Structure 1
């Protein structure tokens, strides 16, 4: 676990992420999260706490850029 995973300011709800970054619709983000086990590294960006799901902005950005260790050398099925 690195420092960006521990910074609570980096964890936002999916609704908040959709509001901040209009290029993603809420339904697109929900679909991504539902299929997070199929996308290498995406599960690392998402946590469920209570009844809410949170996404780490730094890790999500790294995932979008293909920079997570899980993505390096991983092949899609």
Structure 2
């Protein structure tokens, strides 16, 4: 399985890893900035999340200075 492939069949890929790298930010720093545990962010980063709250999504996008469409992308098979 490649990183761009979601683990489930949702067809959604989270680009959190790429956005963090581009901003030279760690998952721990993001966790502190948004108030979400590293474990939960890791689940999201590794495409294992089943759902995400809008408030969490908003906080992540604000911390990373990105739009939702930059963080979550649809993967076509």
Q: TM-score, length-normalised on structure 1?
A: 0.28
| Structure having the higher Rg | 1
* Greater strand content: 1
- The one of the two structures with greater contact order (alpha-carbon pairs below 8 A, sep at least 6) is 2
**How does the TM-score come out when normalised to structure 2?**
0.28
